[in-house]
Chain A
């Protein structure tokens, strides 16, 4: 069974009544469990649009999206929130950590919405922080961390609910090549433990670490 299955997915942005833009055109895509997929394409080609739909943050205009064999196209907002919480971990280009909030609390954040007690949340968060090698930065705030460290906090946060899928939209985009390389290595390590990883990038030398690369151009998968 496909973990992620897109059938004829289209996304049309309606900016104004007469102005619309088709960002995704007839996307058919299957991702298996345990894959490490890189999506590569020029700026404006529709990569973020695609990954936001995969991450259930956005809905396709038409077509259908099955996650673990279950159609999500007509699910209500609460169901989508629950799926985002339990099945998906997000990593953003700009890290998106809460300011003035410690590493520990940032990583524990998604667990609030899974209904864990404070003790369980902090325990799980500490474990994940150790896994990304930031145990000594437990109480640091984001503005006290380097970009690479911030992104590792964000990855720990994405992992803390133990989701099936990690989605990363240009996770190395704001990092120098050294810390960028470290982040991709971390993804490779996670992929070896069985996580499915979908990563957007426009750098070939980042993409080459993935097991599979798809190219997107003007809203279409070209190869």
Chain B
């Protein structure tokens, strides 16, 4: 009997005990479904964040306070010592090679008439911000250098803010309340989506100097640097580091290129994938034990059949293959059902968050269920093959 006929025979046996077979493969189904689904969520997250970061702008370098990837000082988080002076210093030293823009950020409550928008992000940025970070205006304009240096109380808002405070209305003539002060809305920017679940459109841009005065802060959250030429990113990065090192110690700031940020994100999602995959793998192993259990029962139930087959000329290896292929068919069936279910669930989840099912996760989970079938099918199959024909035939 060739391989395919044995598979067909396995299906006949499996279908003869429908409910039992279904319960047996349930563990594998759940395991594979969760592998496919979890991996699709993580890789969806990764591709979404990647596109968001790439969508920020091009040739970007980020300067942030503190050290990323280094050992933390015993006191915990380093105090932020990054100031506007550092940004201005960089701007002067890098002029002609790169655009430099400083950012501060606070969460604050916005009010308009009787409406309130809690937890909006307020960004204090400089007038050149749109030159570095791609922002599309839907209505109105961004503020100018003179408005920034004058510390005018003007604001550019996102559509989530508009939807909360004055849905469907134009921004013209609107004055909103930010942390107790009135700001005139001069612009509305286009949808930017969300990163790590934070709605980028529930935010407001105000001039940096206004923000510093409003919130009483002199430390910066980020300095964005955008190089004129893409091949300059590495050299500008080290130049930036050297400039900052003159005033700050090495663990007080981090200079990261867009690419490095992306690779940090891939590292994080990689760890997530392994952790989630590991949990799912455990359920696959549990599923394998279920298959082994039922195969052992099946060998006992079919002892006479085994004896008969041997009397009719089956060799030990024929019997072993029959049972091994049956276990394999069970586990692969579970794998296929799990893949289909995982796929469907990830399509459903795709309505809410980005999901992608990478081919490798399908291949991996199918391969893993096959391996589980072989590993847990081997012992029952060997037991079947070793039965003595006479004793098996006489088995009650």
Give A157 to B309 CA distance when docked, in angstroms.
12
Q: List the one stretch of B75-83, B110-118, B183-191, B310-318 in contact with chain A.
A: B310-318
A90 lies within 8 A of B305 (CB): no
> Which residue of A is nearest B304, CB measured?
A96
* A114 contacts chain B at the CB level, 8 A cutoff: yes
Q: Which of A57, A86, A98, A100 has the largest count of B CB atoms less than 10 A from its CB?
A: A57
A110 near B: Cβ within 8 Å?
yes
Closest to B394 in A: A48
CB of B308 closer than 8 Å to a CB of A: yes
Contact B390 A157 (CB under 8 A): no
Interface 1/0 per residue, B1-28 and A, CB below 8 Å: 1000100000000001000000000000
Chain B residues with Cβ below 8 Å from A161 are 313
Total interface residues in chain A, CB < 8 Å: 24
Main secondary structure of the interface of B (DSSP, over half): helix
Query: Of A52, A77, A90, which one neighbours B312 at CB under 8 angstroms?
Result: A90
Q: Is B262 located at the chain interface by the 8 A CB criterion?
A: no
Smallest Cβ-Cβ distance to A87: which chain B residue: B313
Chain A 105-125 near chain B by CB (<8 Å), digits 1 or 0? 000011011100010000000
Whether A113 touches B312, Cβ cut-off 8 Å, given contacts A58-B390, A100-B16, A118-B5, is yes
Residues of B within 8 A of A81 (CB): 310, 313-316
Q: Is B389 an interface residue (CB 8 A)?
A: yes
Is B393 on the interface with A (CB-CB < 8 A)?
yes
Instruction: List, in ascending order, chain A residues with CB within 8 A of B390's CB.
Output: 52, 57-58
Residues of B within 8 A of A110 (CB): 312-313
In A113-142, the 8 Å CB interface with B consists of: 113-114, 118
CB A44 to nearest CB in B, in angstroms, measures 15
What's the Cα separation between A77 and B318 when bound, in Å? 12
Instruction: Say whether A55 faces chain B, with CB atoms less than 8 Å apart.
Output: yes
What is the CA–CA distance of A55 and B312 in the complex, to the nearest angstrom? 10
Once the chains bind, are B311 and A112 in contact (CB under 8 Å)?
no
Interface residues of A (CB under 8 A from B): 52, 55, 57-58, 77-78, 81-82, 84-86, 90, 92, 96, 98, 100, 109-110, 112-114, 118, 157, 161
